[in-house]
Every structure is written in structure tokens, then in C-alpha cells.
Amino acid sequence: MKNIFDLTKEELAARIIALGGKKFNAAQVFNWLYKNRVETFSAMSNLSRNLRPKLEEEFELPFFNIVRKAESRNEDAVKYLFELADGKKIESVLMLQPYGNTLCVSTQVGCAYGCFMCATGKMGLIRNLLPGEMTGQLLAIEKDKGVKVKNIVFMGMGEPLANYDNLKKAIELFSDSDGIGVNQRRITVSTCGILPGIKKLIEDKLRVKLSISLHSTFDSVRDKLVPVNKKYNLAHLFETLREYCTSTMFQITIEYVLIEGINDGIGEVDNLITLIRKYNLDVKVNIIPVNPVNKLMFSKEEIINLWQKKLENARITSTVRIERGADILAACGQLAGEG
């Protein structure tokens, strides 16, 4: 049986028509699944009596099993550990914010890219998640917590652009107005720099925001921190970012974990400013505290202040990300790695 949550509305319509239904029935089913959150086809009362049993025979309605959850002391973050149908485990983090709750979604079990500061990368890639396994994270968390999610960030376990086809479907599912209905402008895809995937986002005209895990503006340093840089170096990365900015007119977020003595030198920020100007990028630089992985040391406050001052003088927006969930192992892969 097919997991109905893996299908876009257009795919579902094709299957329903094959079963003798009508195209508009797909919108009705989407409404029942994603807005009314029913758990049986028999509850879909505006479908014909003939169609409901056919859907029951054709599709399954699986829902996520919450293995464990941990809430931060400040009650502003909740981390969930889910067990999938095959026994594999993934994580999601709900960030409770006054301007709209944000859900950090996983796209893979594990990750193949081995970034230095990432716990998930130590697991290696186990498998890709299917679209319904991405949207299922939201459905389970909204039901458990009794809140609505306003923003989606694909920043959980895995490299989203290495699972592009399933990611694209998940974005369509999250943003479908007959379903979950999150505006694509409120969806962010985070990548370590998979350039073919960024180009596909442009080609497919997905109106999502882009976040780049940069962490260094020197190839010799970034090769060690973000090994994919050996394949797609900084010059190629920044050229592709320029294409994305030009195509979408969206601001790109540059994620920068400042690690003491490794990538926090003044030469780094000066080079970052030079590259942003050279490629005429509209960016926000997000400076991130290191969660407790690999016993890394976050840069001293005076260094952070100096970075922010230099960026401000260059008229580049910068923020220091408020550390959420360090007490609940909120860095990607930490609970799944334990479990």
C-alpha cells in the first residue's frame, strides 16, 4: 500500500481518477488530512461512499511514533526523537517564538557530508527521507504540542539538497493551500553548498529562502570544516549564490559558526566582506554559538563584537543566533546518535 502522505495533490488526483473519483476529490482529501487532521478515510464525510473504501484499500495513513522528547529549561525549544516504520530514528526541533513558531525538519537519516561541527555527519548516510516522513514531523509535533507552526527550516538531520526530489515534493506539500498552507517564503532550505541542488531550486522556481553553512572564506580552512568544499569550492559557491540572488531577489543567510582559533580571525571577516561585495550579494550573516559537539570553543565575546562592528560598517546585516536547546542536545543528530 502507498503512503498517502508521500503524494502531492496532483499525484493524488491522478490516483483518485484511476479509482473512479474526480480531480477535485484530491483537494477534499488534502483538507481532511492536513487541515482537519483526521486519521481514517471513513471520517472524510464529504467523499462519496464508493470512494472511501477504495482509498482505504489503496493507501495507508501512517503516523509518527514519538520515542522521546526533551524541553529546554527556558521552554522555548522542544526536541523530538521519532522512530520511523523501518525502525530508523530522526529528530525535529520545535522553536517556540513570539513572532511565529519554527520547526526544524530532518531530510535524511544521517548525513554523508561530515561537516566538522555536526553530530549527524558522524553517523554517515543511512537513507533519504520520503516526503511524508518530512511533513509527518510537523503533523506529529503540532498534535503533541497543540501549537501551529508558521515557519519551516530544513536544517535538521541530513543535507536537504542531497535528497532533492523528495525535498521538492515536501516543499509542495508544506505550502499547498489545501493542505498545511505554509507560504514558501516562510520555508528555508539550509545547505553546506550542494551547487547542483541550488541550481535546481532556481530552475524549479521554488520560492524558498536559502541558508548556506559557510564557516570559512578560505578554501584551505573550509575544506576541513565543510569537506564538500573540495568538490564545490568558494569561487563556484559564491557564483551560484549570485545566480540565486539574481533569480529570486531573496536575501541569503550565511551561517557562520565562529570557532576560537580556527575561523574567527580578522582576515576571515575581511575576506567575507570582500566576497559579498565582489559577487554583489544581498545577505544576512548569522553568527552561531557552538552546541556541545567535539568540545569546540565558541569565540570570545570581544571577537564576536568586532565581527559585528566590521559587518555593520560594511552595511551587512548580522545577528548572533540565540542559543536554543543546548540543554536538550539540540544540535542535529545528538539524540538519534544516542538512541
Architecture of domain 2-60: Orthogonal Bundle (1.10)
Question: What is the pTM assigned to this prediction?
Answer: 0.91
- Catalytic-role residue among 104, 111, 118, 332: 332
More confident residue, 302 or 240: 240
User: For 123-172, how does the pLDDT look when each residue is reduced to its tens digit (9 = 90+)?
Assistant: 899 999 999 999 999 999 999 999 999 999 999 999 999 999 999 999 99
Q: Is 159 a catalytic residue?
A: no
The fraction of the chain above a pLDDT of 70, given in percent, is 92
Residues of the chain with CATH 3.20.20.70: 65-338
Q: Is 91 a catalytic residue?
A: yes
User: For 27-63, how does the pLDDT look when each residue is reduced to its tens digit (9 = 90+)?
Assistant: 999 999 999 999 999 999 999 999 999 999 999 999 8
User: For 197-214, how does the pLDDT look when each residue is reduced to its tens digit (9 = 90+)?
Assistant: 999 999 999 999 999 999
Phi, psi of 284 (to 5 degrees): -120, 135
Asked if CATH classification 3.40.190.80 holds for the domain at 65-338, the reply, yes or no, is: no
- Catalytic-role residue among 57, 91, 203, 338: 91
Q: What average pLDDT does the segment 175-189 reach?
A: 96
- Share the mean pLDDT of the chain: 91
Confidence at 109, pLDDT banded by 50, 70, 90: very high
Q: 3-state DSSP helix/strand/coil percent for the chain, to nearest 5?
A: 40, 20, 40
- 44-63: b (≥16 Cβ within 10 Å) or e: beebeeebeebbeeebebbe
Q: At what angle do helices 266-278 and 234-248 cross, to 10 degrees?
A: 50
Rounded CA gap, 62 and 237, in Å? 39
- C-alpha atoms less than 13 angstroms from C-alpha of 115 in its C-beta half-sphere: 28
